[in-house]
Structure 1
Amino acid sequence: MQPVERVISFVLAIEDLKRVTRKVRPLGLDRYENSAEHSWQLALFAYALAPHAGFALDLDRVIRMLLVHDLGEIDTGDTMAFVEGGWEQRKADELAAVKRIFSLLPDGQAAELLQLWQEFETGTTPEARFANAVDRAMPVLLNLNNHGQSWRENDISYERILKRVRGQILEGCPQLWDYLETRLSEARESGFFDWDAGS
């Protein structure tokens, strides 16, 4: 195939990310969000939040990471962040999926996107840590603003939320964690989490 044909094959293949349903609903809607709109929102969130990261960032790299970080879900489906166990196999399956998807592109672009996906997964650069913080924070923000919809539906306790998101958000964007920690604490004090008393 010609390079442009390969790019078109790729862009049509990633259309399937719109079919991957997540566990949280967009604010004010009855349906669940999909992974494509999640990735788009994260890219804009990262752009707006970058001045508050507390350290220098290659923002272009962060945005590209966020645009590709969930493409493996085209083959594997979404896994809620609070699932415990089985992550090693899920990540191996996602790696196989992104290799398949990226291979549709011309070689140089395929290698670049795979490297970005792996950088996000390993979290070893400031950009990857910031991108992971944004990824962890967005569902928290949605849940804080939709009465804990996905937390209620999936029996996720306040303590489990903190255990899963605190470290990555604090490491990737301390100011973002300061904001969320306060919001979560206020929500708990006001009885927001009364539904998880038996968890």
Structure 2
Amino acid sequence: MTSSDAGLLADQNPLPSGVDSRLREHLTFLIEVDQLKTVLRASPLAAADRRENDAEHSWHLALMVLTLAEYADEPIDVGHTMKLVVVHDLVEIYAGDTPIYDTELGESQQEREEAAADRLFGILPEDAGRALRALWDEFEARKTPEARFAKAMDRLQPLLLNWMAKGGTWRTPGVTAEAVRGRKAVIGEGSTKLWEAALELIDEGERRGWARS
């Protein structure tokens, strides 16, 4: 473990001394990432009058990958893509969520999340931490078919929630339908079919006045 381990959740009720040292690091990490359930996102839920949290978002993305893989423009390894979406937001435990339309906060996003990745994945045994960090880096780089489709899911999921909320974060001051299209265009890097559907939702949302023209 690294020096950044001070103040970990597991320190509040230390694991028994008889637990194997390598396993202890894995379990400490799993306890630490329970915090993902407390990181609120801007997106509203479709099924309840509250915002979703990062853990709910990640679960939804994994299910979307499983359900929508047939629409990927390139063949993808579904299991690997699910790993990418499960890992991609873990750094927000320390870095916090950066709303997609918050351009000011977005300026520091990469720096904050890189530091968070160093800290979080450093909790694990070195080889295990390196493996999860590689998944996070792959998602961020979007250079593989799996990463491109994973990113497409990350942008499509909140769009569906905003549609169900009759605007949701599209109603953020200063946000226009064109800005929504611009921020969601990355969907097209993973799936032409899903991007066409996304544009239908955005266009109809604009016609209904849920997003500013």
Q: One fold, TM greater than 0.5?
A: yes
- What amino acid does structure 2 have at the position aligned with 1:74? I
Deviates most, 78-87 or 63-72: 78-87
The residue that corresponds to 1:163 in the other structure is 182
Query: Is contact 2:40-2:53 (8 Å) kept?
Result: yes
Pairing 1:49–2:78 present: no
Cα distance between partner residues in 1 of 2:174 and 2:54: 22
SS at match of 1:23: strand
1:37 is aligned, of 33, 44, 56, to: 56
Which residue does the alignment assign to 2:5? none
Report the CA distance shift for 1:45/1:89 in structure 2 as closer, same or farther (over 3 A). same
Moved over 6 A (4+): none
- Aligned letter for 1:37? E
Structure 2 runs not aligned, ≥5 long: 1-19
1:173 maps onto 2:191 in alignment: yes
Distance 2:107 2:146 in 1: 23
The aligned length equals 194
- How big is each residue's C-alpha offset from its partner over 1:116-153, in whole Å with a ceiling of 9 and x where there is no partner? 10111111111111110100111111101111122224
Q: Match of 1:141, as an amino acid?
A: L
Q: TM-score, normalised by structure 1?
A: 0.91
**Which residue of structure 1 aligns with residue 90 of structure 2?**
71
Does the residue aligned with 1:156 lie in a helix, a strand or coil? coil
CA distance in 2 between partners of 1:22 and 1:192 (Å): 20
Q: Which moved more, 1:97-106 or 1:11-20?
A: 97-106
Aligned-pair identity in percent equals: 36
| 1:113-128 map, 5 Å | 113-128=132-147
Structure 1: state its 5+ residue gaps.
none
Structure 1 distance, partners of 2:68, 2:101, is 24
Q: Is the 8 A contact 2:167 2:205 kept in 1?
A: no
CA–CA distance in structure 2, aligned partners of residues 155 and 38 of structure 1: 25
Corresponding residue of 1:7: 26
Following superposition, the deviation at residue 156 of structure 1 comes to 2.2
Distance 1:101 1:69 in 2: 12
Q: 1:155 to 1:147 in 2, by over 3 A?
A: farther
Residues 1:41 and 1:154: Cα distance change in structure 2 (over 3 Å)? farther
Q: TM-score, normalised by structure 2?
A: 0.85
Q: Secondary structure at the match of 2:42?
A: coil
Aligned-residue offset at 1:39: 0.6
Give per-residue Cα distances to partners, 1:161-192, cap 9 Å, x unaligned. 011111x1011111110111122222323443
Aligned partner of 1:94 among 103, 107, 113: 113
Q: What RMSD over aligned residues (CA atoms) do the two structures have, in Å?
A: 1.6
Task: Measure, in 2, the Cα distance between the counterparts of 1:12 and 1:5.
Answer: 10
Residue in structure 2 matching 1:84, options 93, 103, 114 = 103
What is the alpha-carbon distance in structure 2 between the residues aligned to residue 192 and residue 36 of structure 1?
A: 27
